[in-house]
Amino acid sequence: MNRVEILSQGDEVITGQTVDTNAAWLSEQLVLMGFDIVRHSTVGDSIEDIREALSQASQRVDLVICSGGLGPTDDDLTAEAVALLSGSPLEFDAQALALMKDMFVRLNRSMVKANEKQVYLPKGATRIDNFWGTAPGFIVSYKHTLMAFLPGVPGEMKAMFEHGLKPELLKHFDLQPSRRIIFRTTGVGESNLQEKIGKFEHEHVCLSYRAMGREVQVKLRFSAQCKAEELDKHCRYMADILGDCVFAIEGWGQGPVGNLAEVVVALLAAKNIKLVCAEGASGGEFMRLVSLSAKGMSFIKKGYYFAEPNDLHEMLNLQGGSPEEPHYFHLAHTLRSTSQADIALIITPFDSVKSKEGDSIAKSAQCFLVSGHGQLCVSDQVTGSDAYCQHAISYRALNLLRKYVL
Amino acid sequence: MNRVEILSQGDEVITGQTVDTNAAWLSEQLVLMGFDIVRHSTVGDSIEDIREALSQASQRVDLVICSGGLGPTDDDLTAEAVALLSGSPLEFDAQALALMKDMFVRLNRSMVKANEKQVYLPKGATRIDNFWGTAPGFIVSYKHTLMAFLPGVPGEMKAMFEHGLKPELLKHFDLQPSRRIIFRTTGVGESNLQEKIGKFEHEHVCLSYRAMGREVQVKLRFSAQCKAEELDKHCRYMADILGDCVFAIEGWGQGPVGNLAEVVVALLAAKNIKLVCAEGASGGEFMRLVSLSAKGMSFIKKGYYFAEPNDLHEMLNLQGGSPEEPHYFHLAHTLRSTSQADIALIITPFDSVKSKEGDSIAKSAQCFLVSGHGQLCVSDQVTGSDAYCQHAISYRALNLLRKYVL
């Protein structure tokens, strides 16, 4: 059996100062490797609590992965707790010290006496080297359970898992890895996707959904028993049934990958399309998403933020006084021609949507797109926090761009 | 004793599909109320695992708070696990059903048969009403341990804790609540803050740090034994020693509260200062932070995004060809006068900072500020992910504005 418990350790986690993201990350990796996760536990900086948690876990599972408590300070007690549990003393590890000294030189930091504590590991432990920080990790066997210890800093923990621990686990356990394919969609809600897909119960494949803002991911996890043709068949079926709300597929096929902004940016770059935009409702979020994905590509050189149509009118230096009614298509044409861009996009400011009783129940905005081949406009209505509304309307605009360019 | 275990429940948590934020949130609330958190545990959708986890917790602690597993589907098993543990059958709760029917009417959704399962609660349980969703929570006593059950949806869980569970806990336990004061700082790193503060060991007060991007929070937690004068003395000392890197203090004094953008926006609004900005390096993030905090206030009406100085030159419709060397102060003056703003702010695009060997080791940008009273410029150097760099330079610009306006 390949049953796992994840143990997180530290006062900052147990008191809620830090949200534990390590447990979820480790679980996701381990599930894909073929492990069965049965419990997460967290204890504070108490040697007895750590010992007790490890002892209890050893009765439940075949593998414990513990993160945290390997630092240089007095409240880092994990190695001592392991020594107490197993009855093996801590031993000085000369190679670990040499590696740590190198690291301090590279970081241009001075090593203090307290750091030496970190290279005392339980006798008989297999060391996991840390090339990303100072605390080495280690693996011990206790009764029938393998126990691995990694630092709590997420960056170090992840790198050491990938490069040090994972190869060891593949040696120790007879695993049936599964394969995960993610269909990334936008523009259709989770319940509508569920309705589209309907009953999807097949051997060797497990369907799940994950909604993140306006992106809904449809995830398929295929067990090792699933044949390649069967996997392809299920993925083709899913791609067909979902249709053009899928903007990327991770792990299968030759289509686009990445988040929506990355996909749109790649499309624009591939077709050498220059974009200019003016955003109201999205308040900077549209430009932020695009500029983050652009990574120095110069296809978007100018952007405008405006609170009211008149402000955009002024920014574009248009003559003829303020327009009583905003002529967004006119503004978009001007924007496009003055910027020598191929596509101009305007996201209007939000209007309040009111109920019959006059309460504000939602916000609405429009996206206007003008190119050399035509023009179009879509309306959108959103509810939620201000940050969510900015994000949602930005996603709407990105998806409009994606569909237009395709 | 007031020892607590937090139990989270659900396959999506145990497999790492969802990061468990409930445990941290609950822990933080409970620590402030005076509880001592000793463990977090998570199990999947298995009736036996839930029963076992509850049984084990009852041997360790005085209070268990469990979130998740109260939904309408077959894999929501928490109430059944409680019935199995305690030997009390599940009973139909007519009041809970009436409340649930009301909720469906308000949500304009139709109730399905499966929902009725949610109003079967363990016999003898105290119901916690859910006015924010459909699943009621409940409290039971098992041996010497109080056990509370809340839905896993964070918004419902938090509201039910606050309005339903917390008052019950205050009745059941004799608590010594602590008080938390947060000094929110920016512009000084965590280790420098630690050096500034030095040794801070006093009875009744506990110091901790929390770094979030360019904000570092200095947190003081005062136990109930701390007298008001003593608390004031420590807070005054801290405010003095930290100086003007503190932009807000939560929980003490009459100064500003909120995040950096909110503080800056409040300052600008109070002084009726109109702002215009043009951003390069921050890529939309500066405007996003400001517009999120502005909440409809019109002190910022126009903003520009530009990739290169020439682009801003063109957007401002300046004559005289492209400047060979960017004259940002000139651009900022033009920006200010054409926008009829009080303050113009320009964040330049990033330049790469290279090592002697020619490797890119950091990014640098400048912030230029021009008002009717003068002009100033600061440089900043950042490293990290693109998103972090955008955020960091935006914080630098906000802090410049804050100090200038003060």
**In whole angstroms, what is the distance from residue A283 CA to residue B285 CA?**
9
B74 against A273, higher pLDDT: A273
Residue B318 pLDDT more than 90? no
Residue A319 pLDDT more than 80? no
CATH code at A179-250: 3.30.70.2860
The whole-number average pLDDT for the span A373-400 is: 93
A279 against A105, higher pLDDT: A279
Residue A306, classed as helix, strand or coil, is strand
Contact residues on chain B for A276, CB-CB shorter than 8 A = none
Residue A384: band (very low, low, confident or very high) from pLDDT cuts 50, 70, 90: confident
Which of A40, A288, A303 has the CB atom closest to B285's CB atom? A288
**In whole angstroms, what is the distance from residue A225 CA to residue A203 CA?**
9
Residue type, B199: K
**Minimal-distance CA residue of chain B relative to A33:** B15
- Whether B292 sits inside 8 A of A314 (CB atoms) is no
Contact residues on chain A for B42, CB-CB shorter than 8 A = 23, 39-41
**Minimal-distance CA residue of chain A relative to B299:** A307
The whole-number average pLDDT for the span B173-181 is: 92
What's the distance, CA A205 to chain centroid?
Answer: 23
Report pLDDT digits (tens) over B44-101: 999 999 999 999 999 999 999 999 999 887 788 999 999 999 999 999 999 999 998 8
Say yes or no: A3 contacts chain B, CB-CB below 8 A: no
Say yes or no: A111 contacts chain B, CB-CB below 8 A: no
Contact residues on chain A for B302, CB-CB shorter than 8 A = 304-307, 311, 314-315
Enumerate residues 6+ apart whose C-beta is below 8 A from A332: A278, A344, A345, A346, A368, A369, A370, A375
Say yes or no: B262 contacts chain A, CB-CB below 8 A: no
**Minimal-distance CA residue of chain A relative to B39:** A43
Report pLDDT digits (tens) over B7-23: 999 998 999 988 999 99
Which of A31, A301, A302 has the CB atom closest to B15's CB atom? A31
**Minimal-distance CA residue of chain A relative to B7:** A41
Residue A294: band (very low, low, confident or very high) from pLDDT cuts 50, 70, 90: confident
Which of B219, B300, B317 has the CB atom closest to A317's CB atom? B317
Taking only residues 200 to 239 of chain B, the set having a beta carbon closer than 8 angstroms to any beta carbon of chain A reads 208, 210, 219
Q: List phi, psi (to 5°) of A222.
A: -100, 130
The whole-number average pLDDT for the span B94-113 is: 83
Residue B322: band (very low, low, confident or very high) from pLDDT cuts 50, 70, 90: low
Residue A322: band (very low, low, confident or very high) from pLDDT cuts 50, 70, 90: low
Say yes or no: B110 contacts chain A, CB-CB below 8 A: no
**In whole angstroms, what is the distance from residue A58 CA to residue B244 CA?**
51
Say yes or no: A12 contacts chain B, CB-CB below 8 A: yes
Contact residues on chain B for A362, CB-CB shorter than 8 A = none
Q: Please report the ipTM that was assigned to this predicted complex.
A: 0.82
**In whole angstroms, what is the distance from residue B174 CA to residue B138 CA?**
21
- Burial label, A48 (beta-carbon count in 10 A; 0-12, 13-18, 19+): exposed
**In whole angstroms, what is the distance from residue B62 CA to residue B17 CA?**
30
Residue A348 pLDDT more than 80? yes
Confidence (pLDDT) at B33: 95
Residue A216 pLDDT more than 70? yes
- Whether B16 sits inside 8 A of A28 (CB atoms) is yes
Contact residues on chain A for B28, CB-CB shorter than 8 A = 15-17
Q: Considering chain A, tell me which residue range(s) the CATH 3.30.70.2860 domain(s) occupy.
A: 179-250
The whole-number average pLDDT for the span A152-166 is: 95
Residue A110 pLDDT more than 80? no
The whole-number average pLDDT for the span A25-46 is: 96
Enumerate residues 6+ apart whose C-beta is below 8 A from B18: A24, B10, B12
Residue A324: band (very low, low, confident or very high) from pLDDT cuts 50, 70, 90: low
pTM: 0.84
Say yes or no: B308 contacts chain A, CB-CB below 8 A: yes
Confidence (pLDDT) at B94: 93
Whether the CB-CB separation of A264 and A290 falls below 8 Å is answered with: yes
Whether the CB-CB separation of B150 and B128 falls below 8 Å is answered with: yes
Distance to chain B for A45, nearest Cα, Å: 10
Confidence (pLDDT) at A323: 60
B355 against A186, higher pLDDT: A186
- Whether B13 sits inside 8 A of A24 (CB atoms) is yes
Structure tokens, A51 = 């010992």
Structure tokens, A4 = 């796992």
Confidence (pLDDT) at A109: 73
Mutate to test the interface with A, among B7, B9, B15 (most CBs of A within 10 A): B15
The whole-number average pLDDT for the span A163-171 is: 97
**Positive or negative: CA dihedral B77, B79, B85, B91:** negative
Which of B31, B49, B390 has the CB atom closest to A292's CB atom? B390
Distance to chain A for B379, nearest Cα, Å: 21
**In whole angstroms, what is the distance from residue B332 CA to residue B14 CA?**
53
Buried b (16+ CB within 10 A) or exposed e, B367-400: bbbbbeeeeeeeebebeeebeebbbbbbbbbbbb
Least confident among A52-56, A194-198, A357-361: A357-361
Radius of gyration of chain A (CA): 27
Say yes or no: B351 contacts chain A, CB-CB below 8 A: no
Report pLDDT digits (tens) over B336-386: 999 999 999 999 999 998 888 888 888 999 999 999 999 999 999 988 889
Query: What is the CATH architecture of B3-172?
Result: 3-Layer(aba) Sandwich (3.40)
Contact residues on chain A for B360, CB-CB shorter than 8 A = none
Residue B30 pLDDT more than 90? yes
H or E segment to which residue A12 belongs: helix A11-14
- Whether A14 sits inside 8 A of B39 (CB atoms) is yes
What is the 3-state secondary structure of chain B? Answer: CCEEEEEEECHHHHCCCCCCCHHHHHHHHHHHHCCEEEEEEEECCCHHHHHHHHHHHHHHCCEEEEECCCCCCCCCCHHHHHHHHHCCCEEECHHHHHHHHHHHHHHCCCCCHHHHHHHEEECCCEEECCCCCCCCEEEEEECCEEEEEECCCHHHHHHHHHHHHHHHHHHHCCCCCCEEEEEEEECCCHHHHHHHHCCCCECCEEEEEEEECCEEEEEEEECCCCCHHHHHHHHHHHHHHHHHHEEEEECCCCCCCCCHHHHHHHHHHHCCCCEEEEECCCCCHHHHHHHHHHCCCCCEEEEEEECCHHHHHHHCCCCCCCCCCCCHHHHHHHHHHHHCCCEEEEECCCEEEECCCCCEEEEEEEEEEEECCEEEEEEEEECCCHHHHHHHHHHHHHHHHHHHHC
Say yes or no: B302 contacts chain A, CB-CB below 8 A: yes
Which of B286, B292, B304 has the CB atom closest to A390's CB atom? B292
- Whether A317 sits inside 8 A of B314 (CB atoms) is no
Residue A301 pLDDT more than 90? no
- Whether B16 sits inside 8 A of A23 (CB atoms) is yes
CA angle at B298 for the pair B292 and B301, rounded to the nearest 5°: 85
Residue type, B136: P
Q: Considering chain B, tell me which residue range(s) the CATH 3.90.950.20 domain(s) occupy.
A: 260-405
Say yes or no: A292 contacts chain B, CB-CB below 8 A: yes
What's the distance, CA A227 to chain centroid?
Answer: 29
Residue type, B333: H
% of chain B with per-residue pLDDT over 90 = 73
**In whole angstroms, what is the distance from residue A6 CA to residue B189 CA?**
32
Mutate to test the interface with A, among B315, B319, B337, B339 (most CBs of A within 10 A): B315
Report pLDDT digits (tens) over B69-81: 998 877 889 999 9
Confidence (pLDDT) at A167: 97
Say yes or no: B93 contacts chain A, CB-CB below 8 A: no
Confidence (pLDDT) at B325: 61
Residue B210 pLDDT more than 90? no
Residue B5 pLDDT more than 90? yes
Q: List phi, psi (to 5°) of B107.
A: -80, -5
Per-chain mean pLDDT for chain A: 92
Say yes or no: A57 contacts chain B, CB-CB below 8 A: no
- Whether A14 sits inside 8 A of B40 (CB atoms) is yes
Confidence (pLDDT) at B354: 87
Contact residues on chain A for B289, CB-CB shorter than 8 A = 284
Contact residues on chain B for A388, CB-CB shorter than 8 A = none
Report pLDDT digits (tens) over B122-162: 999 999 999 888 889 999 999 999 999 999 989 899 999 99
Q: Considering chain A, tell me which residue range(s) the CATH 3.40.980.10 domain(s) occupy.
A: 3-172
Beta-carbon-side half-sphere exposure of residue B272 (alpha carbons within 13 Å) = 0
Which of B28, B39, B295 has the CB atom closest to A43's CB atom? B39
**In whole angstroms, what is the distance from residue B189 CA to residue B193 CA?**
6
CATH code at B260-405: 3.90.950.20
Contact residues on chain B for A386, CB-CB shorter than 8 A = 292, 295
Confidence (pLDDT) at B38: 97
Distance to chain B for A307, nearest Cα, Å: 5
**Minimal-distance CA residue of chain B relative to A313:** B302
Least confident among A316-320, A332-336, B284-288: A316-320
Distance to chain B for A93, nearest Cα, Å: 29
Strands A36-43 and A3-9: parallel
Say yes or no: A36 contacts chain B, CB-CB below 8 A: no
Say yes or no: B180 contacts chain A, CB-CB below 8 A: no
